[in-house]
Chain A
Amino acid sequence: MNEKKIIELKSVAKSFDGEVILDNIDLDVYEKEFITLLGPSGCGKTTTLRIIAGFVTPDNGDVMFDGVKINNVPPYKRSVNTVFQKYALFPHLNVYENIAFALRLNKVSEEEIYERVEEMLAMVNLKGFEKRDVNLLSGGQQQRVAIARALINKPRVLLLDEPLGALDLKLRKDMQNELKNIQRKTGITFIYVTHDQEEALSMSDTVVVMANGKIQQIGTPTDIYNEPENAFVADFIGESNIIDGVMLDDYRVKFSGHEFNCLDKGFAKNEAIDAVVRPEDVDVVEPEKGMLCGIVDSVTFKGVHYETIVTINNFKWMIQSTDYVAPSQKIGLYIEPDAIHIMKKSEFSDMFGDYSSFSDELEHLSDITEEEEERE
């Protein structure tokens, strides 16, 4: 990956009607990178994208492109193109003309337009669709036209605003692969917005997790998954058991009334922390062999594994295991030191963690509608 910064956001802030949407965001985007802005609706990810595209002017802070401040450069003068959520294809033009639109504006010769449009159509697997009415295409086909249209001008950066949101699951998986391929082939920087964590993890070089108008964590997909920085990230990426605990000493933590060995250090003595244990990292053992003991509340078959809910000290643990245990049975839990990840307390502590509560909390966050997010 190239280490040259192409876009920099420097303490960018934006609020609408007094409501803070972006709270001093700092973000660097490198050349040829596939970077994903991930977060629930209303977290400010789309606004960030629109600031980069030039549709929204930040209240504060700078947007730099190649080291040049572009705060007041209008969208049509930025070498950035966007793939919109609902594609925004021009209904009065056919497939060919939609894709050729940007070239015609630049007064490119007809021969060159033909060549480049054909090239684009080949890339998005739409050869032979030139004369089709865009309104009669399927969602996936429209998506490809939108990508071809945005890429034909060879932008330095392509912005994608939840481009797969309207597609069904199967098509979505295919398009994920295709997008990744296109990005690799063209070497164009992709800034991708989504609320789907799986999409983010599987496609991106870098994931930026956002919530409440702030960046919570920036990192590679593995970093984000394995070493979440706070309860929000831990909860939003994958499933987690987040338990209140106390750091007794370096490599020693206490939660659920039991002391564990762990791999984390550098906390103050007896500092209150959040401990994360991924459900797949918990081993089910005989009650007497377990570090913790509890009664099974419920078991759900999920295909690859069973999802077992166990109550211990009023905390509902989620365990993903291939072993079946019957409800009401007493079982023991065994947790390896490397399965425990310790996080500093944050504004999100206590909002998540217990399996019984987290989905409600998330719903509350999702309540902020898209429309609000996109207001100008």
Chain B
Amino acid sequence: MKRKAASNIYTVLVFIFLYMPIAVLILFSFNSSSSTGRFDGFSLRWYRELFSDAATMNALKNTLILAVLSSIIATVIGTLAAYGINKMKNRHLKGGITAVTNVPMMNPEIVTGISMMLLFVFVGGIINSKTVLGFGTVLIAHVTFNLPYVILSVMPKFKQMDKHLPEAALDLGCTPMQSFLKVELPQILPGIISGFIMAFTLSLDDFIISYFTVGSGFETLPIRIYSMTKKRVTPDMYALSTLIFVVIMILLLLSNISGDKEKKTLTLKQKKRRKIAIISTFSVIAATTLGLFIGTSFTEVVTVNVYNWGEYISDGGEDEDGVASVDVNKEFEKYYSKYLSEQKGRKIKVKVNYTTYASNEDLYAKLKAGAGGYDVIVPSDYMIERLIAEGLIQPIASREEITNVIKNYDYLLREPSDGETMTKEETEIFQKPFYDNGEDVYSVMYTYGVVGIIYNADHVSEEDIGGWDLLWNEKYKGKILQFNNARDAFGTAMYKLGVNVNDPTAEQWQDVLNELIKQKPIVQSYVMDEVFNKMESGEAWIAPYYAGDALSMIYQAEDRNINLGFYYPQNEEGETVTNVFADAMCIPADVSEEQKAHAIAYIDFMLSVDENYGSPAIANAEYIYYASPNRMVYTNSSYLETLDGDEEIIYAPIENNIDELFNTYAYRNLSSKNLATLNSNWETLKVESSSFNGTIYIISAVIAIAIIAFIVFIAVRRKYRRKLYWEQSPIAIKKASKNTPSDDLSDTVTIAIKRSKSNKD
């Protein structure tokens, strides 16, 4: 009894372990607030929001089309391949081909993804197409990685099938084709169905391979969710994940039912019912796909491909109070369709293909690999410097011409406030930033922001705040967070020590590293996005982060009665010393003249405050929370009203010494030598930092040694046992008899028998 209870408990524990995360996910998808820690009541709000989010729904549609098409194609090809492999006469060839088809399955996805991208770009180069990456390439990639799974699930069915069945069919008058359709297909159908479902689910959630092989204008759901991590994963993603989980559950159940075909005990009625269930599921899938395809109309379409950070545009989603924001891309489509149609005198439909990335480095990798097809991109300052240097982006216009090309360009001019005087340089700071101040204009600033320190006002005393040294304050040991990215983490120490962040000396590098190593014992953890939860829940008290995000943390924490504060660190002279960053819109070098005109229209629209089209610049600023360089925005009274005094947080430090921040403290493109030092120092710090490093290595080593010892023990024991019974074999007995002095065979046999008896004991 006891044993049974224990095994029951064990089973329950395993299930809890497996399904707890999903249960929590489902629960919180019905939460009425966006809190991740507290359930504030049942609501379908996030489901509503999910279905009103055009971009996500579009990504979902793409993912479904991709999954259905790729799994159908893979199933057809895979089944035929399995048929062919099964028919092969040469056993070695057969084994070889089976092994080769299995390799892609073992291959790490990253290898498959990168090699596919390389191949596509290479082929694109040969056929001289810059926009080779797109739906077609992801489809090919998905078919490729799905194939082995289909083959793997269909092959055994062929092997299980009585090999005389096709012969019997031929014998009764079937042509080989009829034999396949009428006799072999029904036998392998369960394998085909489970292969199809496996391919479908794999394709549905594939991220890595899609990420590398997808081009502009096509975004799958996993890619979209991943790129959202620049900000926070919003609860509508819980809703989406719940829906996906439910759909996959249903598919799995269906595939299990179809797998039950082995059990011959099903009555014909049950079989019929099951058949109906399977057919109806497939027809629903097929109908959805078809419907989605037909949904596209046949009018002339102009497409603008925009590649931006995740959560970096006002997208029509609801805010905390359930008020829908402006869908800026939709507004642009409306505006530009009208404009183009009027200009050209015929109906033209404009479509914005909006896809997202998660880091400057991702963007860079895509551009560098030649994966073109983007018309507008939004890199950060140092990356723009690098892209210009490497010729990966093209000038929008010359500096004289720019105001004629971008009509709203002068919104970026700064205006001196009352009685203040400004030099020309000071007013042009957003037009001629450090990263783009040459003859030609390569970029139009989108947002900018500042790194500051966010702290828990309930626990951190006022006299401790003000400088970077709060991050090193022993009083708050275990409550301090640090950036989990090299540049920003080292930045904090450099600003603290007053070191030039863009070109420290070797000695300074060492000091900075020592400073961070010194900080380590009091740091709770190195984080990026987790900062939101940790600060909002009061788990951590002090963290350096970006101003716009700090604001959203402050709002969230208020709901939980936690008071967060935020300040820009100053040095002893009272100057703000911190990182300023800017993100700006650029046009990649491979964009054609024709597409460039559309790209410019889009960029111009982003600066516009035209109320007929939802004041895009203001809508974005209100949505993103980052500082806008657009004077029509930061002087707009309704915008300021919305911020309700929080503009202090976003704009204050810039008002005072924007030039100095930009020119002295902003990150520049590091020299390769400095980049190498930064990376190796970061490694040193991280290795030092991992608190478990020693123990985890020792534990792994002990486990590995134990496993090896066990294997050796088994091998030795087997050898020992074998040795005993080998000695008892007649050959061994004869040999043994020669050695015995008595030379008496029977003696030896008796010895052997005795030995075998003792062996049994």
Q: Among A76, A135, A376, point to the contact of B173 (Cβ < 8 A).
A: A76
Q: Which residues of A contact B424 (CB under 8 A)?
A: none
Number of interface residues of B (CB under 8 A): 20
Cross-chain contact of A84 among B164, B175, B264, B268 (Cβ < 8 A): B164
- Whether A81 sits at the interface, judged by CB under 8 Å, is yes
Complex contacts, B173 vs chain A, CB 8 Å:
76, 102, 105-106, 153
Task: Knowing A53-B171, A76-B175, say if A88 contacts B164 (CB, 8 Å).
Answer: yes
Verify B168–A76 contact, CB threshold 8 A: no
Residue B712 at the chain A interface, CB threshold 8 Å? no
A75 to B178, CA, bound (A): 13
Task: List the A side residues contacting B688 at CB < 8 Å.
Answer: none
Contact B164 A86 (CB under 8 A): yes
Whether A101 and B162, one on each chain, are in contact in the complex, defined by CB atoms closer than 8 angstroms, is no
**Interface assignment of B747: CB less than 8 Å from any CB of chain A:** no
A81 touches B172 (CB 8 A): yes
Q: Please tell me if A337 contacts chain B, counting CB pairs below 8 Å.
A: no
User: Which residue of chain B is the closest to A105 with respect to CB atoms?
Assistant: B173
Measured CA separation A54–B176 after assembly (Å): 13
A92 touches B89 (CB 8 A): no
In the bound complex, CA of A153 to CA of B174 (Å): 13
Contact of B89 with A102 in the complex, beta carbons under 8 Å: no
B498 in contact (CB, < 8 A): no
Give chain A residues whose Cβ lies under 8 Å from the Cβ of B170. Answer: 54-55, 74-76
**Do A82 and B268 have beta carbons less than 8 Å apart?**
no
Contact A92 B168 (CB under 8 A): no
Beta-carbon contacts under 8 Å, A70-90 to B: 74-76, 80-82, 84-86, 88-90
| Min distance, Cβ B88 to any Cβ of chain A, angstroms | 12
Q: Does B187 contact A (CB under 8 A)?
A: yes
Q: Could you say which residues of chain B place their CB within 8 Å of the CB of A81?
A: 171-172
Residues of A within 8 A of B171 (CB): 53, 75-76, 80-82, 150
Min distance, Cβ A91 to any Cβ of chain B, angstroms? 7
Interface residues as binary, B164-189 with A (CB distance below 8 Å gives 1, 0 otherwise):
11011111111100100011001100
Contact of A88 among B162, B175, B178 (CB under 8 A): B162
Chain A residues near B172: list those with CB within 8 A.
76, 81, 101-102, 105, 149-150, 153
Residues from chain B with a CB closer than 8 A to the CB of A133 are: 264, 268
Residues of A within 8 A of B264 (CB): 133, 135-136
B450 to chain A, nearest CB (A): 70
Cα–Cα, bound, A98→B575 (Å):
92
Task: Tell which of B164, B168, B268 has the most Cβ of chain A within 10 Å.
Answer: B168
Q: How far is the CB of B530 from chain A (nearest CB, A)?
A: 55
**Most A C-beta atoms less than 10 A away, residue of B172, B173, B264:** B172
A131 within 8 A of B: yes
Q: Are A105 and B187 in contact (CB under 8 A)?
A: no
User: B269 to nearest A CB, angstroms?
Assistant: 11
A256 to B169 CA separation, bound complex (whole angstroms): 57
Contacts of B165 in A (CB 8 A): 88, 90
The docked-state distance in angstroms from the alpha carbon of A41 to that of B235 is: 71
Contacts of B268 in A (CB 8 A): 94, 131, 133
Within 8 A of A (CB), among B671-700: none
Q: A75 vs B187: C-alpha distance in the bound complex, in angstroms?
A: 21
Q: Which residues of A contact B164 (CB under 8 A)?
A: 84-86, 88
Say how far A247's CB is from chain B's closest CB, in angstroms. Answer: 46
Q: Kindly identify, within residues 184 to 205 of chain B, every residue whose CB is under 8 Å from any CB belonging to chain A.
A: 186-187
Q: Which residues of A contact B174 (CB under 8 A)?
A: 76, 105
Given contacts A131-B268, A136-B264, contact A88 B168 (CB under 8 A): yes
Given contacts A76-B173, A102-B172, A105-B178, contact A84 B167 (CB under 8 A): yes
Contacts of B182 in A (CB 8 A): 101
Instruction: List CB contacts (< 8 Å) of B690-714 with chain A.
Output: none
Interface centre among A80, A84, A92 (most CB of B within 10 A): A92
| Contact present for B162 and A376 (CB under 8 Å) | no
Is B162 a contact partner of A92 (Cβ separation < 8 A)?
A: no
Which partner residue on chain A sits nearest B166 by CB separation?
A88
Least Cβ–Cβ distance between A50 and chain B, in angstroms: 9
Name B264-305 residues within 8 Å CB distance of A.
264, 268
User: Could you tell me the distance between the alpha carbons of A75 and B167 in the complex, rounded to whole angstroms?
Assistant: 8
Q: Is the CB of B89 within 8 A of A84?
A: no
Given the complex of chains A and B, what is the CA–CA distance between A90 and B179 in angstroms?
A: 11
Residues of B within 8 A of A80 (CB): 171
For the complex, what is the distance from the CA of A172 to the CA of B375, rounded to whole Å? 81
In the assembly, what is the distance between CA of A86 and CA of B165, in Å? 10
Q: Using an 8 Å CB-CB cutoff, how does the interface string of A47-62 with B read, 1 for contact, 0 for none?
A: 0000001110000000
Interface string of A123-164 (1 = CB under 8 A from B): 000000001010110000000000001100100000000000
CB contacts (< 8 Å) of A75 on chain B: these are 167, 170-171
| B168 lies within 8 A of A55 (CB) | no
- CB-CB under 8 A from B89, the residues of chain A are 376
Minimal Cβ-Cβ distance residue in B for A77: B173
CA distance A292 to B58 in the complex (A): 102
**With the chains together, A264 CA to B171 CA distance in Å?**
47
CA distance in complex: A54, B182 (Å): 20
- A residues in contact with B178, CB < 8 Å: 105
Within 8 A of B (CB), among A6-55: 53-55
> What chain B residues lie within 8 Å of A53 (beta carbons)?
167, 171
How far, in Å, is B231 (CB) from chain A's closest CB?
54
The CA-CA distance from A149 to B170 in the complex, in Å, is: 13
- Closest residue on chain B to residue A81 by CB atoms: B171
- A55–B167 CB distance below 8 A: yes
Residue contact A82 to B168, C-beta cutoff 8 Å: yes
Contact with A along B145-176 (1 / 0, CB 8 A): 00000000000000000101101111111110
Q: Of residues A80, A88, A106, A136, which shows the largest number of chain B Cβ atoms within 10 Å of its Cβ?
A: A88
A86-B168 contact in complex given A94-B268, A105-B178, A106-B173, C-beta closer than 8 Å: no
B167 near A88: Cβ-Cβ < 8 Å: yes
Query: With a CB–CB cut-off of 8 A, which chain A residues contact B175?
Result: 74, 76
CA A92 – CA B187 in complex, angstroms? 7
Residue pairs across A and B with Cβ atoms less than 8 A apart, 27 shown, are A53-B167, A54-B170, A55-B170, A75-B171, A76-B171, A76-B173, A76-B174, A76-B175, A81-B171, A82-B171, A84-B167, A84-B168, A86-B162, A88-B164, A90-B168, A90-B186, A92-B186, A94-B268, A101-B169, A101-B172, A105-B173, A105-B174, A105-B178, A106-B173, A131-B268, A136-B264, A150-B172
Interface residues of chain A, those whose CB is within 8 Å of chain B, are 53-55, 74-76, 80-82, 84-86, 88-92, 94, 101-102, 105-106, 131, 133, 135-136, 149-150, 153, 376
Which 3 residue pairs are nearest across A and B when measured between Cβ atoms?
A88-B164, A92-B186, A88-B168
Beyond A88-B167, A88-B168, A131-B268, 10 extra complex contacts between A and B, CB < 8 Å: A74-B170, A75-B170, A76-B171, A82-B171, A86-B164, A101-B169, A101-B182, A105-B178, A136-B264, A153-B173
